[in-house]
């Protein structure tokens, strides 16, 4: 599977739709995520990070304690998917899966409890 060209849609109810490209940083977790799509979650906020529970209980693969703006990451203690849209850094180690390539500004409008749907592009 060529993951570096795999795109997903992140739809935020009432706000809009963002696009993300998944990459090869954590291929095992990325593959499992793709198998579970579509996934529906409810937004939680922590600084400039949106996160929501997902139905994947996986071990860490290649973790990082830092995030860049736009990173999409799997956080195993949640288990949750995290989207970093500003300067906030992870609470603890995360597994980066890709980057938001279009619509990152939409995450600044999100509120606690907003419905998020991840699906294949």
Domain ranges, residue 69: 3-120
From CA 70, how far away is CA 9, in angstroms rounded?
14
pLDDT digit string (tens) for 25-37?
999 999 999 999 9
| Band of pLDDT at residue 5, cut at 50, 70 and 90 | low
Summarize the confidence of residues 7-16 as an average pLDDT: 97
Helix extents (H) in the chain:
27-36
From CA 116, how far away is CA 63, in angstroms rounded?
24
From CA 55, how far away is CA 78, in angstroms rounded?
10
What is the value of pTM for the model shown?
A: 0.93
Domain tally for the chain? 1
Residue 117 pLDDT exceeds 50: yes
User: Does residue 42 have a cis peptide bond before it, meaning omega lies within 30 degrees of 0?
Assistant: no
CATH of the domain at 49: 2.40.100.20
What is residue 4's predicted lDDT score, i.e. its pLDDT? 43
From CA 29, how far away is CA 2, in angstroms rounded?
14
Which residue matches tokens 């849609």? Answer: 9
From CA 79, how far away is CA 64, in angstroms rounded?
16
pLDDT digit string (tens) for 81-115?
999 999 999 999 999 999 999 999 999 999 999 99
| Band of pLDDT at residue 15, cut at 50, 70 and 90 | very high
pLDDT digit string (tens) for 47-83?
999 999 999 999 999 999 999 999 999 999 999 999 9
């Amino acid at each position: 599977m060529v993951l570096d060209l795999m795109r997903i849609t992140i739809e935020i109810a009432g706000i809009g739709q963002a696009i993300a490209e998944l990459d090869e940083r954590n291929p095992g977790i990325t593959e499992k995520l793709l198998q579970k799509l579509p996934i529906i979650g409810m937004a939680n906020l922590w600084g400039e990070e949106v996160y929501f529970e997902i139905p994947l209980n996986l071990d860490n693969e290649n973790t990082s304690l830092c995030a860049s703006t736009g990173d999409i990451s799997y956080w195993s203690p949640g288990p949750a998917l995290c989207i970093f849209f500003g300067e906030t850094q992870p609470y603890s180690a995360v597994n980066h899966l890709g980057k938001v390539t279009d619509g990152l500004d939409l995450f600044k409008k999100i509120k606690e409890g907003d419905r998020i749907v991840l699906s294949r592009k």
